[in-house]
Structure 1
Amino acid sequence: MSEVTTNLADKTVLASRQHRSEGDVNTTPARQQWHASIDDNATKAMLEQDSKVFLHQAMSTPCLDALVAAEGIYLQDAAGQRYMDFHGNNVHQLGYGHPHVLTKISQQLATLPFSPRRFTNQTAIDCATKLTEICGGELNRVLFAPGGTSVIGMALKLARHVTGNFKVVSLWDSFHGASLDAISVGGEACFRAGMGPLMSGVERIPPAVSYRGCFPSPDGSDVHYADYLEYVVEKEGGIGVFIAEAIRNTDVQVPSKAYWQRIREICDKHNILLIIDDIPNGMGRTGYWFSHHAFDIEPDILCIGKGLGGGVVPIAAMITKDKYNTAAQVSLGHYTHEKSPIGCAAALATMEVIEQQNLLSKVQDDEIFVAQALVALKAQYSLIGDVRGMGLLWGIELVTDRDAKARAFDEAEAVLYYCLNAGLSFKVSQGNVIQLSPPLIINRDELKRALTIFAGAIDKVSRDFGYAPIG
């Protein structure tokens, strides 16, 4: 084998390992076996057409399947198979095609479908006003953008303007979007690999991880991870921003309230702006409007998106405080769809549904039910090393050995494809963490059915891989 071929092979292996951090990999033998099992001609044709016309990229093309419909909590593929969608790219808080959202969008389309920059419209004003109301506290200034990555960029620009400092501290393993500025502050190597020089002045610190953290505490506390932020701030100097998800979405890491209150204290002490990225988890997924509400803190800048558009329209928002309304001479966003009437109609309708259907309290009730079911499953199967979550966001970490905490990569893929065949779709993060994030509108019977499918997969894979049951 030539040196070039060897280097390419090594890079392929490394890339495969890195890409597991964000999701299940689309080039593994398990994925190839899944594709080989597809016998529907319409599906095969669509996948082949897709592969020919789209640029191939990790975790996307080549695709898993071909969809023809989406309604409520379900996706339907070209072969007629329906999947309960427990992934949804985090846009599906209300499921798909919610009638109230579609009605409001249709009404808006009939009157004002687009609002050029330099003009405002009542729908955008009402949407921004409603956002400030559900945020509460001092978060009362809004900018909209077409997507979450864009609002991260706006937040970083505003923070530079306000603080006069360009240095940023973020967390390893964090994800804040895939654009060059977002991957510069993100903590996942799979997005930075091969990209060359990125935005300077970024320091990263370890996240507060309870199960396999790099600084484990005998008593399970995590405040010392926050103390590390102050250490870096004092040693580095010139830090203007700390950016983080309140709860890490993909592999579901839930810090303590004490951790976040210590972070807020450090930021206040050192005049650092706290940016909370709640793009995947906002709009009720944790049982709160926004994740930071669970920790009794308030960020200086809040970034939201994904589910804001009701699973129909791409829209995101940056919300900040009136005292930071000082950038009138700076173009922070300047996006074509900055005050999209359609996007804002969808967002307003989404907030109305969450309130009218009391989804926040429902999700808090669902949290208790899901937690009990998953903890009971962990007690039965040694394949499950850890269960963690909040609201309707759960991570189940699979391990080959509980003491060593070795990641069960092959077993996690086997669980994924078992569940897909049984009609349940979800994401695998870090290669071994099953992430379950169903629509907030899911009813209890559907939730029970999904957990039954998942329990069946754990049982089957445990037996196939030779894991002895507990007890």
Structure 2
Amino acid sequence: MMSTEQSTHFRSEGDINTTPARQAWNQSLQDERTQTLLKRDEEVFLHQAMSTPCLDTLEGAEGIYLQDTTGKRYMDFHGNNVHQLGYGHPHVIKRVTEQMASLPFSPRRFTNETAVACAEKLTQICGGELNRVLFAPGGTSVVGMALKLARHVTNNFKVVSLWDSFHGASLDAISVGGEACFREGMGPLMAGVERIPPAVSYRGAFPRPEASDEERDVHYADYLEYVIEKEGGIGAFIAEAVRNTDVQVPSKAYWKRVREICDKHNVMLIIDDIPNGMGRSGEWFTYQAYDIEPDILCIGKGLGGGLVPIAAMVTKDKYNTAAQVSLGHYTHEKSPIGCAAALATMEAIEQEQLLAKVQKDSQFMHEQLERMKDTYPIIGDVRGIGLLWGIELVTDRSTKERAFAEAEAVLYQCLNDGISFKVSQGNVIQLSPPLIIARDDLQIALNIFESAIKQVSQTFGYAIND
């Protein structure tokens, strides 16, 4: 077993599955069918980090719930970020079923009404100058397309990205990603990538605790300009508007400054909104909460309504200059089924007024989690936007030492009690429920979470403020 120090960087994207706590969880699953299926899975699939051995076996998913082989249900507060509409949303199923019966596939050299209508709708909800679309089967592919377009437009191949960022798991995506766990042992990757520290106010590389909320992280943007000027030949800056995994929420001033720097130096701003797009921030896309506009937007995951894999790159008409280049050239480039799911997802979000709902839920989550922070000193920081929240557990608020074992204990207690989420960086509980969740269910989930925090605090000897 690797030590905590050696394994820390492997914890960046999610909870790892090689700890004693995970082994104890797997051994607690007493159902014979569950253990049999887990064993079959382990024997046939190629093993990889964070997914083998699996956490449990599933036989159903509906609404906000996952259901395992024994009939136990979990509220899904993770969902690999595809679950904005939960699972089995009737409008998405209806549209996809109708599409399957009429036009199930469209070869790449043809177009179809559903794909065109989906692209038109995407440009409508993006607004501004974002009016050109390319579809792809998944978010990683879209990131690759965006990097290629930026090279074509700027004639510069160098890219700036953020440490601790995630943009996919392919070789080009891990080249610009900032998580060492994905580059481990991979050898030479794509050349020309410069990484800078992310705008982190709680435990960042250059903290400014005395600064106001709107000035606390602008200096991280200044670091971007420093690198652009020193390095030269930078064609793009790629980042999530809000870091999804451990929920880092920069200030508006930061993103305004980034946009100014990119404009000044003719650097294309690529916003990766693959995990957070389609309403999680309370806006259609997270950049809209910052009153900026990227040059290229990457979306995916929730775009397919939790049913069909589909992703999209959206850019501006002035960058429609690569007619002789195959930026994507994917088999399912204008998938009628994928586009039907995406179009239905956008329709459902509008019909159910989910953006306004998420904004109200955001305030509720903030109030509840801040109250917990006041009560339980094990909670060092609470941060979030919309229905995306990070709760950072620490052994000591003054030193900010990460509470690895305590976070795992909270995770498995909540799994026992019927909530699934993931732990990022080893100590950050990430809560991202479906946008359709009812307020009563959200309160139940938070009660379960608080009960776990209280129990773990007592077990590990932490104070509780009455």
Q: TM tier, shorter chain?
A: over 0.9
1:120 maps to 111
2:190 maps to 199
Q: Residues 139-193 of structure 1, C-alpha deviation per residue, up to 9 Å, x if partnerless? A: 0000000000000000000000000000000000000000000000000000001
Q: Distance in 2 between matches of 1:246 and 1:159?
A: 18
Q: Distance in 2 between matches of 1:341 and 1:13?
A: 47
- Report the 3-state secondary structure (helix = DSSP H, G, I; strand = E; otherwise coil) of the residue aligned with 1:83: strand
1:64-463 equivalences in 2 (<5 Å): 64-217=55-208, 218-220=210-212, 221-463=216-458
- Report the 3-state secondary structure (helix = DSSP H, G, I; strand = E; otherwise coil) of the residue aligned with 2:254: helix
Q: Distance in 2 between matches of 1:190 and 1:466?
A: 32
Q: Distance in 1 between matches of 2:26 and 2:204?
A: 36
Cα pair 1:252 1:435 within 8 Å, conserved: yes
Q: Give the residue type in structure 2 aligned to 1:30.
A: A
Q: Give the residue type in structure 2 aligned to 1:264.
A: R
Using a 3 Å threshold, how does the CA distance of structure 1 residues 375 and 39 change in structure 2: closer, same or farther?
Answer: same
Q: Distance in 2 between matches of 1:288 and 1:410?
A: 35
**5+ long unaligned stretches in structure 2:** none
Cα pair 1:164 1:240 within 8 Å, conserved: yes
Alignment TM-score, normalising by the size of structure 1: 0.97
Using a 3 Å threshold, how does the CA distance of structure 1 residues 468 and 15 change in structure 2: closer, same or farther?
Answer: closer
Q: Residues 403-430 of structure 1, C-alpha deviation per residue, up to 9 Å, x if partnerless? A: 0000000000000000000000001000
Q: Distance in 2 between matches of 1:144 and 1:460?
A: 47
Q: Distance in 2 between matches of 1:260 and 1:13?
A: 34
Q: Give the residue type in structure 2 aligned to 1:186.
A: G
Cα pair 1:16 1:25 within 8 Å, conserved: no
Alignment TM-score, normalising by the size of structure 2: 0.98
- Report the 3-state secondary structure (helix = DSSP H, G, I; strand = E; otherwise coil) of the residue aligned with 2:167: coil
**5+ long unaligned stretches in structure 1:** 1-8
Q: Distance in 1 between matches of 2:271 and 2:67?
A: 34
Q: Residues 269-318 of structure 1, C-alpha deviation per residue, up to 9 Å, x if partnerless? A: 00000000000000000000000000000000000000000000000000
Q: Give the residue type in structure 1 aligned to 2:153.
A: V
Q: Distance in 2 between matches of 1:270 and 1:383?
A: 44
- Report the 3-state secondary structure (helix = DSSP H, G, I; strand = E; otherwise coil) of the residue aligned with 1:27: coil
- Report the 3-state secondary structure (helix = DSSP H, G, I; strand = E; otherwise coil) of the residue aligned with 1:36: helix
Cα pair 1:132 1:139 within 8 Å, conserved: yes
The structure 1 residue matched to 2:22, chosen from 4, 15, 31, is: 31
Q: Give the residue type in structure 1 aligned to 2:184.
A: A
Identity %: 77
Q: Give the residue type in structure 2 aligned to 1:93.
A: Q
Q: Give the residue type in structure 1 aligned to 2:77.
A: F
Shift of 1:31: 0.3
- Report the 3-state secondary structure (helix = DSSP H, G, I; strand = E; otherwise coil) of the residue aligned with 1:441: coil
2:37 maps to 46
- Report the 3-state secondary structure (helix = DSSP H, G, I; strand = E; otherwise coil) of the residue aligned with 1:394: strand
Q: Distance in 2 between matches of 1:427 and 1:227?
A: 32
Shift of 1:13: 6.5
Q: Give the residue type in structure 2 aligned to 1:242.
A: F
Q: Distance in 2 between matches of 1:56 and 1:193?
A: 16
Q: Distance in 2 between matches of 1:222 and 1:117?
A: 45
Q: Give the residue type in structure 2 aligned to 1:31.
A: R
- Report the 3-state secondary structure (helix = DSSP H, G, I; strand = E; otherwise coil) of the residue aligned with 1:155: helix
Shift of 1:16: 3.1
Cα pair 1:223 1:262 within 8 Å, conserved: yes
Shift of 1:17: 2.2
Cα pair 1:183 1:192 within 8 Å, conserved: yes
Cα pair 1:19 1:59 within 8 Å, conserved: no
Q: Distance in 2 between matches of 1:18 and 1:374?
A: 27
Q: Give the residue type in structure 2 aligned to 1:235.
A: K
Q: Distance in 2 between matches of 1:137 and 1:125?
A: 19
Q: Give the residue type in structure 2 aligned to 1:408.
A: A
Q: Residues 303-348 of structure 1, C-alpha deviation per residue, up to 9 Å, x if partnerless? A: 0000000000000000000000000000000000000000000000
Q: Give the residue type in structure 1 aligned to 2:294.
A: P
Q: Give the residue type in structure 2 aligned to 1:344.
A: C
RMSD: 0.9
- Report the 3-state secondary structure (helix = DSSP H, G, I; strand = E; otherwise coil) of the residue aligned with 2:194: strand
Shift of 1:61: 1.5
Q: Distance in 2 between matches of 1:18 and 1:260?
A: 27
Q: Distance in 1 between matches of 2:340 and 2:459?
A: 50
Shift of 1:36: 1.0
Q: Distance in 2 between matches of 1:14 and 1:470?
A: 31
Shift of 1:470: 2.3
- Report the 3-state secondary structure (helix = DSSP H, G, I; strand = E; otherwise coil) of the residue aligned with 1:464: helix
Q: Distance in 1 between matches of 2:404 and 2:417?
A: 20
Q: Distance in 2 between matches of 1:331 and 1:69?
A: 39
Q: Give the residue type in structure 2 aligned to 1:145.
A: A
Q: Distance in 1 between matches of 2:157 and 2:254?
A: 25
- Report the 3-state secondary structure (helix = DSSP H, G, I; strand = E; otherwise coil) of the residue aligned with 2:334: coil
